[in-house]
Amino acid sequence: MQKFTVNNTEYSIRLFDVQNDSVEELTDLLHRAYKPLADKGLNFIATHQSVEYTRNYFRKGECYILVNPENKICGTIFYYLQTFHDAPEIFKDNDTVLFGKFAVEPSLQKAGIGPALTGTRREGIRGKNLLRCREALCAGGHQRRVVVQNPASHH
pLDDT along the chain (155 residues), means of 10: 85 93 97 94 90 90 92 90 70 69 90 78 52 44 40 38
pLDDT (0 to 100) of residue 83? 67
pLDDT in the model for residue 142: 39
* CA dihedral sign of residues 136, 56, 96, 126: positive
**pLDDT computed for residue 39 by the predictor:** 93
Q: 129: how many CB neighbours lie within 10 A of its CB?
A: 12
- pLDDT for position 124: 54
Residue 30, pLDDT score: 96
pLDDT value at residue 122 = 56
CA distance 149 to 92: 18
Cα–Cα dist 61/141, whole Å: 21
DSSP 131: S
Prediction pTM value = 0.76
Residue closest to 117 by CA, chosen among 23, 16, 46, 34: 16
Give the distance between the most distant pair of CA atoms in the chain.
49
* Structural domains in the chain, sorted by start: 2-153 (3.40.630.30)
